[in-house]
C-alpha cells in the first residue's frame, strides 16, 4: 500500500469518526455524595497529631486516598476534610490553613476514578464512560464530567450551578447544537433537579435531551440518620464508623439528605429508644440528644431544597435498584441511649436509599408534559448500579436510540 493510499484511508477514517461524533447527543456526568475527587493544600500552624503534615508545597489528593484512611493518619484526614459551621453566617469553612479544590471540572477523569491511581476501589463513573466510548463517544468531547464539593448543599454551591450551565452551553455548541444527556448518580439527581429548576423552560427545551438518574435520593434517606448517630464505614471493615462520623456529620449535604417530610410522615418513628421516640416532628431533640446541635441548624438551612420538589421539565429516565436491605429505623434496646449502638431495622431499597425515595420521580408523572420512565433493577445496590450489566445495557439502548432520533 502506498503512502497516498494510507493517507486516503486515514482521511476516510477521520471523516467516519467525525461523522459518528457529530450524530451523538453529548453526555455530562453528575456525581453524587462522595463522587468527586478532592485535592488539598496545607499551610497550618498546628496539627491534631504529631504524624500530621502541616504544610505542603502543592495540592495532593485527599479524596479518595486510602493511604490517608489508616489508623492515626486518619485523624489528620478528618481535620483536613471536616467543615466548621457558623450559625451566624449559615455557612461552613475548612479548618484553618486547609485549602481544598475540586479538580477536573469538564473532564471525565475525576468522576471516572475517585482514586487518581485508578485502583479498582476508586472506580466510579468509569464503567459507564467506557461503555459510552465503545459506542463512539470521546472523553472530554462528547462525554464530560461535572464534579463539585459534595460536602456542601445547594446554598453553598452557587458557583457550581453557574459553571454547570456554562458547561452545558459550551458542550452544546461544540457538538453541533445537539442537546445534552445528563447522567446523575444519587445526590447528583438532586443537584440536577435544583439546577434544572433554576433554568427557564425554553433553555431546557433547547439544551437538554434527557436526564438519566441512577439511584436518585429524591426524598433523602434514613441512612443519613444512621450516619449522624453512629457514622458509616463506607463498606470497609478496616474503617471505624465512629471515627468516620467525626468528619461525615460536618457536611451540610448530609443534612440535605435527611428523610424528607414529603416522603416520611411527621409522626413516623425514625429512632426508637426506651425513653423517647424521634420523628421528623421532634428531630431537633434528636440532634441535641447526640450532642450535635449544628446538625439541626444545617437541617434548617437545607430543608427548603427538599420542599422545593417541582418537576424538572425534562424527560427523565429514573433508574434504581430494589430488594436490598436498607435502614428504615434505628432501635436502641432498653437500658441504652443515643450514645450506644442501635439495631438497624431494615426495609426495601438499594442498600443506601429507601424505596419510597428512589421512586420519588414517579410523583411527577402527571405534573409535567415531558415523559418519565421509571425502571427498577432487582438486587442492584446503590454503587453497583454504576456497573450493573442490565443498567449498562439500558443506558446503551437509551443513548443509541436518542442519537437516532
CATH 3.40.50.1820 fits 28-404, yes or no: yes
- Asked whether 186 and 353 are in contact (CB, 8 A), the reply is yes
Cβ-proximal residues to 288 (8 Å cutoff; 6+ apart), any chain:
296
**Is residue 16 scored above 60 in pLDDT?**
no
Model pLDDT, residue 5: 56
Model pLDDT, residue 234: 87
Model pLDDT, residue 401: 86
- Where residue 11 falls among pLDDT bands split at 50, 70, 90? very low
**Active-site positions?**
186, 350, 382
Which element (helix H / strand E) includes 227? helix 222-230
pTM of the shown model: 0.94
Residue 86 C-alpha cell reads as: 457558623
Residue 340 C-alpha cell reads as: 450506644
Count of helices and strands (H, E) across the chain:
14, 15
Q: In what order do the strands lie in the sheet with 60-63?
A: 60-63, 38-42, 98-101
**Per-residue b/e over 116-137, b at no fewer than 16 CB within 10 Å?**
beeeeebbbbbbbbbbbeebbb
**Is residue 185 scored above 60 in pLDDT?**
yes
Phi and psi angles of residue 310, each rounded to the nearest 5 degrees, phi first: -75, 150
Model pLDDT, residue 2: 63
Taking alpha carbons only, the member of 135, 110, 134, 136 closest to residue 124 is 110
Share of the chain above pLDDT 90, in %: 91
Mean pLDDT score across all residues of the chain:
94
Please report, for the chain, the start and end positions of each structural domain, with discontinuous segments joined by +: 28-404
Taking alpha carbons only, the member of 251, 236, 20, 26 closest to residue 119 is 236
Higher pLDDT, 42 or 13: 42
**Is residue 154 scored above 80 in pLDDT?**
yes
Task: State the Cα–Cα distance between residues 215 and 35, nearest whole angstrom.
Answer: 13
Residue 239: HSE in the Cβ half-sphere, 13 Å Cα cutoff: 22
Task: Give me the residue label for grid cell 420521580.
Answer: 361
Phi and psi angles of residue 246, each rounded to the nearest 5 degrees, phi first: -60, -30
**Is residue 15 scored above 50 in pLDDT?**
no
Share of the chain above pLDDT 70, in %: 94
Residue by residue, DSSP assigns 284-327 as HHHHHHTT-HHHHHHHHHHHHHHH-----SS-EEEEEEESB-EE
Model pLDDT, residue 402: 65
Model pLDDT, residue 8: 52
pLDDT tens for 66-109 read 999 999 999 999 999 999 999 999 999 999 999 999 999 999 99
CA-to-CA dists, residue 311 to 200, 271, 327, 361, 379, angstroms: 13, 31, 27, 8, 28
Task: State the Cα–Cα distance between residues 268 and 280, nearest whole angstrom.
Answer: 7
Bridge partners (DSSP) listed for residue 211: 182, 316
Task: State the Cα–Cα distance between residues 207 and 171, nearest whole angstrom.
Answer: 9
Residue 329 C-alpha cell reads as: 429505623
Q: In what order do the strands lie in the sheet with 271-272?
A: 277-278, 271-272, 326-331, 343-347
Task: State the Cα–Cα distance between residues 304 and 113, nearest whole angstrom.
Answer: 32
Taking alpha carbons only, the member of 264, 220, 223, 260 closest to residue 245 is 223
Phi and psi angles of residue 143, each rounded to the nearest 5 degrees, phi first: -135, 125
Amino acid at each position: 500500500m502506498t503512502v497516498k493510499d494510507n493517507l486516503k484511508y486515514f482521511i476516510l477514517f477521520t471523516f467516519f469518526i467525525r461523522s459518528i461524533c457529530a450524530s451523538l447527543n453529548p453526555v455530562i456526568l453528575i456525581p453524587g455524595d462522595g463522587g468527586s475527587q478532592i485535592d488539598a493544600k496545607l499551610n497550618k500552624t498546628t496539627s491534631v497529631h504529631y504524624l500530621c503534615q502541616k504544610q505542603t508545597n502543592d495540592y495532593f489528593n485527599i479524596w479518595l486516598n486510602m493511604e490517608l484512611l489508616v489508623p492515626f493518619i486518619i485523624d489528620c484526614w478528618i481535620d483536613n476534610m471536616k467543615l466548621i459551621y457558623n450559625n451566624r453566617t449559615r455557612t461552613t469553612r475548612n479548618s484553618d490553613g486547609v485549602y481544598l479544590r475540586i479538580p477536573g471540572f469538564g473532564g471525565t477523569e475525576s468522576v471516572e476514578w475517585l482514586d487518581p491511581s485508578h485502583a479498582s476501589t476508586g472506580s466510579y463513573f468509569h464503567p459507564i464512560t467506557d461503555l459510552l466510548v465503545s459506542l463512539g463517544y470521546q472523553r472530554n468531547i462528547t462525554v464530560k464530567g461535572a464534579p463539585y464539593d459534595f460536602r456542601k448543599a445547594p446554598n453553598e454551591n452557587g458557583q457550581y450551578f453557574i459553571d454547570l450551565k456554562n458547561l452545558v452551553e459550551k458542550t452544546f455548541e461544540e457538538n453541533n447544537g445537539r442537546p445534552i444527556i445528563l447522567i446523575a448518580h444519587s445526590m447528583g439527581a438532586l443537584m440536577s433537579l435544583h439546577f434544572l429548576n433554576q433554568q427557564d423552560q425554553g433553555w431546557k427545551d433547547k439544551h437538554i435531551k434527557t436526564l438519566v438518574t441512577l439511584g436518585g435520593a429524591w426524598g433523602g434517606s434514613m441512612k443519613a440518620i444512621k450516619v449522624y448517630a453512629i457514622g458509616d464505614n463506607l463498606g470497609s471493615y478496616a474503617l471505624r464508623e465512629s471515627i468516620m462520623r467525626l468528619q461525615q456529620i460536618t457536611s451540610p449535604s448530609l443534612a440535605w439528605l435527611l428523610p424528607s417530610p414529603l416522603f416520611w410522615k411527621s409522626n413516623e418513628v425514625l429512632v426508637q429508644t426506651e425513653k423517647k421516640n424521634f420523628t421528623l416532628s421532634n428531630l431537633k431533640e434528636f440532634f441535641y440528644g447526640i450532642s450535635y446541635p449544628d446538625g439541626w441548624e444545617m437541617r434548617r438551612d437545607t430543608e427548603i431544597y427538599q420542599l422545593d420538589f417541582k418537576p424538572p421539565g425534562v424527560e427523565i429516565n429514573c433508574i434504581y435498584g430494589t430488594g436490598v436491605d436498607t435502614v428504615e429505623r434505628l432501635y436502641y434496646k432498653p437500658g441504652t441511649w443515643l450514645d450506644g449502638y442501635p439495631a438497624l431495622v431494615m426495609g426495601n431499597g438499594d442498600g443506601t436509599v429507601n424505596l419510597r425515595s428512589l421512586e420519588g420521580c414517579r410523583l411527577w408523572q402527571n405534573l409535567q408534559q415531558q415523559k418519565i420512565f421509571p425502571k427498577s433493577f432487582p438486587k442492584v445496590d446503590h454503587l453497583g448500579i454504576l456497573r450493573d450489566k442490565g443498567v449498562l445495557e439500558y443506558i446503551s439502548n437509551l443513548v443509541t436510540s436518542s442519537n437516532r432520533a
